[in-house]
Each structure stands twice: as structure tokens, then as C-alpha cells.
Amino acid sequence: MPLAIQGEITIVRGKIVSVEHRAGGVTLHFGNNRVEFPDAWATPGLVDAHAHVVGLGIAFAEGYLQSASSLEECLRRVAQYCYKRRGEWIIARGWNHEQWPNPRLPTRADLDGVFPDIPVALTRVDGHALWVNSRALERAGITASTPDPNGGAILRDKRGEPTGILLDAAMDAIYQALPPRTPTEIEQAIVSALTACSSVGLTEIHDMDVLPEDLPIFTRLAEEGKLRCRILSWVRGQHEEWHREGILPTTGEFHRVVGIKLFADGALGSRGAALSQPYADAPETYGLELLSTEQIVHRIERAIGDGFSSIAVHAIGDRAVSNVLDAFEQIRDRYPHSSDVRFRIEHSQVVRSEDIPRYVRTGAIASVQPIHCTSDAPMAERRLGERIRDAYRWRSFLDAGVLLCAGSDFPVESHNPILGIEAFVRRRPAGYTDAWNPSECIEAAEALEAYTINAHRAADLAYRRGTIASGMDADISIFDHNIETCPPEELPTIRTLATVVGGTLYEHA
Ligand SMILES: [Zn+2]
């Protein structure tokens, strides 16, 4: 049955009580109120299954370097207008040296020329690398003699001096030196992020790697009716933060804490993704294993003991994916009754064919971000060489019977889910005339499932949401075109007219 429909939908106390299919548009009935959307199409409310809500709001509030097309442009923006101070620090995020004419990693010397005295910390677009100046290194106490931390790397020049690029766990020293954000800033970030999400048709977000201290802010905003999208939280668990802070699962209509989030490796862009063979463009480099299989198993056991029903593990490289599947197998063997705990592999970007059946055997869900494929294709080709055939395997996952849910990883990519659906269907990186490895494309209807019903299956909520039918939650997105049948090249022009979340209507056009 198609997910996109036209007709009359009656909503009472947050639930859909009747649906009459009829061509010509969508009419919503709320008691005696009716709201008409002529020629429009309704779909189940779209879910972003992997995103960072606070990160998006902060990216709006702070400098955003995503579109800077060269190192000089980055420096100019940071210097002239596109930066914010945090205490005495200058911070911004979103640079991507892969999009510069000279795609070398920047250095502290590049920043020192402009900022000799003020500490500057600029996060790479993927969130897995920091570019800092000498003053920032000094503040964080990082010198030539500082060892690489576990799961991180301080890049060094020929003389052994830090270059100013810090990978993964090595970024922590800088974050600890920054003054903390205030709860008011976090609250404003959440509200502005969800306003933006709602305007592009999202009604629910799987929020990943949430800080324990931010959870009460979400809970309060939910109680005050200020969340325009439902939020499910996966709490930071890399260093067992959830356990140290005594965080337990919660239930609630608009906010619930459902799981923990771990990182098995870094990202391809910064060569932190753990590969089984060396990088094609760095023959000595295999990437970073941020947690061993044993450490993953230990954290999962602890999370299950705390009552969590979902475990999300970031794995981008094929070696990291294998390690995570090893951990999942050990848990399934040791706890035969653990089948109600959902396992997810976030990103699942490079996956060897022999590992795909292991997703099915362990019940692992592939949580993918289709726009990563189209925006990273040229970089991924350089990093992986011929192993590129193992990357972004959407059709392979679906054909094997793996549950595929989709997200954007915002603020790493645009929060607009329609662009994700377009990437799923067309798989065409900017500047390419043809689809890239087209055998892995999926249909628009399958793409829409990944953003709706499959995301709810991944969170055990499909009995309440993911279809427009009597008895289901009134979570609905209304668009000016039918996503399932619209010509793929027209997808990016689709506009969101309204969203309904728990029976509350938000009109966007
Ligand atoms: Zn992420």
C-alpha cells in the first residue's frame, strides 16, 4: 500500500480516528475545524533516524563554514563575520578541505597568521576533526610531547610538532578547555533546530549522542509543549557517561530516553574510519578503532542491565562494522532473551558482503544517511579505491532483509529529508551526470519507508506510528507533491505545507 495518500483525515485527541481516501488533496478535520490542502499529499510524519538536535541549533547560532570554498574563504569568514565568541574563544564548524581547490588539511600556522593571540577551534563538517591555532593548543596543554589519546590522534609535522589538526578523542582536550554552554543557550538551540526540522516535514527525530546534562531540558520543553518534533534520545555512552550520571530509560509522548550511543571508529574524511585494508590514499593508515569489541560488549551489557532497549553504535569502516557485529553476536549468544533489545549500526558505510547476513542474524538495523553518499563520493573514491563497491549499500541491505532506516546526521548534512530521499533514488553526486554505482539505488517508495515506518520499527513504535490509518498517532507530513510518484529530478523542489504532531497542526507554507 502506498504511504502517500489524498483524502479526509479526522483527528481526535492526538489520534487518527478515520481516513477516507479521495483524490484531489488533503483535508484535516479537528473537531469542527477543517483545514484544506488542495492538490496536496499526506504521508506519515517523516523521521530523521540519526541527527544531532542541539548541534543543529548551535550551528545556526554559531559560525557555519559549510559553504566556504577555500581555506582563504574560511579564514576570511572567521575573521570578518561568520564567527561567534565563546568566552574568549572563537569557534565555528563545517569546514571541509575536500571541497577546496587545494584539498590539503589546514594547519595551525594558517590560523596563527590571522589569530596570533585568541584561541580558535573550528570543527570539521563531519565532527571528527578539529582545526585549532597555537593559542588553542596552549590552552588545552597539547605539546609535541603529548601522547595520542586512546581513540584519537594529534597530527604532527616532520619535527613532531602538532600541526593543529586533532582527530576524534584528541579533540576532547580542547572541548574541556572551552567554557560550557548555558542551559538557556541549549534550550534556544533545541527550539530553533526543531522549528527548522518541522518546516521541512520532520515530525520525529532520533537524537544521537545526547549529553546527559541536556536531557532535563528536552523533558521540560516536552512538558511545556514546546517540542515541534517528537524526540527519542540515545545518550552518550562512549565512556559510560549515561551510567556515571545515573541516566535510565524514560517514557513520554514527546520525549523519551530509549538508548545509548557508542562510537566504534571515526570518519572517512579524516581517515579515522577503521578499515580492514589500508587507505587507498594513505598506504600506512588503517583508521582508528575507538572501542574494542570487548569494550563494546561490556557497554552493551551494562546498558541492557540499566533497562535500555536500543543500542546504537557508530561504525563507518568495514573493520569497525565487523567488530560491532562480533560484539552483537556475543551478546545474542550470551543473552538468548535479548531479542527485544534493538541493535543499530549508525552509518554502516563500508560493509563487506560477508557481513551483510550477519546484520540479519543479529537483528542489526542499518541506520544510513543517503546524502553522505552523494556529498562524499569523490572523497570516498580516493580513500577506498576499488573497495568503493562495498560503500553505501542500500539495495544490498534491502535485498538481504536488513531493516534500513534513514537520517541526515544534521548538522553534518542538510536536515531536509527530501534531499535524502532524492539521494536514495538518484545517487548522483554534485557534478556527476550519472548515478554513482547505480545498482545500490532504491525506489522512492522504499526511501519513504526508510524515513517513516522503518524508523518506527527501529524504535519499536510502528504499532503507533508510520502509517496513516485509524487508531494511529496523528503524526502527518503534508507536501505539495506525491513523493512516491514525482519524477526523481523534481524531488528537490517539493515543498512542505504542514506537519501534524500528536494532533497539533503546524502550517509551513
Ligand atoms: Zn552523527
CA of 114 to the centre of ligand 1 (A): 31
Report the C-alpha gap between 119 and 137 in whole angstroms.
8
For residue 261, how far is its CA from the centre of ligand 1 (angstroms)?
10
- Report residues near ion ligand 1: CB below 5 Å: 409
Domain total of the chain: 2
Please report the pLDDT score of residue 499 as a whole number.
Answer: 98
Q: Any alpha helices (H) in 282-346, and if so which ranges? A: 293-305, 318-334
Same structural domain, 279 and 155:
no
pLDDT at 26: 98
Give 39 Cα–ligand 1 centroid separation in angstroms. 36
Q: Report how far ligand 1's centroid is from the alpha carbon of 35 (Å).
A: 37
Say whether both 308 and 379 belong to one domain.
yes
Residue numbers of the domain that contains 159: 88-177
With contact defined as beta carbons under 8 Å apart, do 460 and 342 qualify?
Answer: yes
245 shares a domain with 128: no
- 172 & 279 share domain: no
**Chosen domain end from 154, 177, 200:** 177
pTM to 2 decimal places: 0.90
Q: Please, what's the b/e burial string for 466-495 (b: 16 or more CB within 10 A of its CB; e: otherwise)?
A: bbbeeebbbbbbbbbbbbbebebeebeebe
Last residue of one domain, picked from the residues 177, 196, 226: 177
Residues 286 and 149 in one domain: no
Whether 69 maps to a domain, the answer reads no
Same domain, 323 and 429: yes
Q: Which residues on neighbouring strands pair with residue 279, listed in sequence order?
A: 282
Residue 505 lies inside a defined structural domain of this protein: no
- The residues near 321 (Cβ < 8 Å, ≥ 6 apart) are 264, 315, 345, 348, 350, 351, 352, 355
* Single residue among 177, 204, 239 that ends a domain in this structure: 177
Ligand 1 centroid from CA 128, angstroms: 10
Per the DSSP assignment, residues forming a β-bridge with 92 are 63, 122
> In this predicted structure, what is the pLDDT of residue 77?
87
Q: Compute the distance from residue 41 Cα to the ligand 1 centre, in Å.
A: 30
Per-residue pLDDT of the chain (509 residues; tens, 9 = 90+): 789 999 999 999 999 999 999 999 999 999 889 999 999 999 999 999 999 999 999 888 877 787 789 999 999 888 876 556 777 888 888 899 988 999 899 999 999 999 999 999 999 988 889 999 999 999 999 999 999 998 899 999 999 999 999 999 999 999 999 988 899 999 999 999 999 999 999 999 999 999 999 999 999 999 999 999 999 999 999 999 999 999 999 999 999 999 999 999 999 988 999 999 999 999 999 999 999 999 999 999 999 999 999 999 999 999 999 999 999 999 999 998 888 999 999 999 999 999 999 999 999 999 999 999 998 999 999 999 999 999 999 999 999 999 999 999 998 889 999 999 999 999 999 889 999 999 999 999 999 999 999 999 999 999 999 999 999 999 999 999 999 999 999 999 999 999 999 999 999 97
215 in the same domain as 242? yes
**In a shared domain, residues 420 and 477:** yes
